[in-house]
Amino acid sequence: MVVFSFNILNKDGGLVFHKEFSKAQSVDLRLASSFHVMSTIAVQISPVPKSSGIEEFVSEAFKLLCMQTRTGVKFYVITDPSHATPLLKALLQSAYEAYVDYVLKDPFYAIDQPIRGEKFAYVLARLVEASP
């Protein structure tokens, strides 16, 4: 699987983690703040009650898949558009579990601040490499 980048947004839309895995397709960092705004608007205009916003965005150049936690933190991965959504959802779930284990349980991490833990970045890189 070709993962271009992996990002985490805090509940206020601030980018707290960004990791590029492929230089072949560089997606601008402005996408993070734009995505949060578009997702927030989608929640407000959605006819479905308690919508979580945009979950998947597909273009000719990339596919963006988002998973929002109950606390409002958004995990999203940007990949090649040909990748299967179930595999990406499994990757996001595994990344969330690593986030809980290596970021939230870190006594030196302050909520909503940038994630600088090397262990989390290492585990995330292994998850991306192990993805089919």
The enclosing domain of 110 has a CATH number of: 3.30.450.70
Q: How far apart are CA 102 and CA 99, in angstroms?
A: 5
Which residues contact residue 111 at a Cβ distance below 8 angstroms, ignoring those fewer than 6 apart? 10
User: pLDDT digits over 72-95, tens only?
Assistant: 899 999 888 888 889 999 999 999
Query: In what order do the strands lie in the sheet containing 63-68?
Result: 15-20, 3-9, 74-79, 63-68, 56-58
User: pLDDT digits over 11-63, tens only?
Assistant: 888 889 988 887 655 556 667 668 778 888 888 888 877 777 788 888 888 88
pLDDT at 132 over 90: no
Residue 18's SS3 state is strand
When divided into structural domains, the chain yields a total of: 1
Answer for the pair 98, 127: CB distance below 8 angstroms, yes or no. Answer: yes
pLDDT reported for residue 24: 59
Domain of residue 8, residue span:
3-130
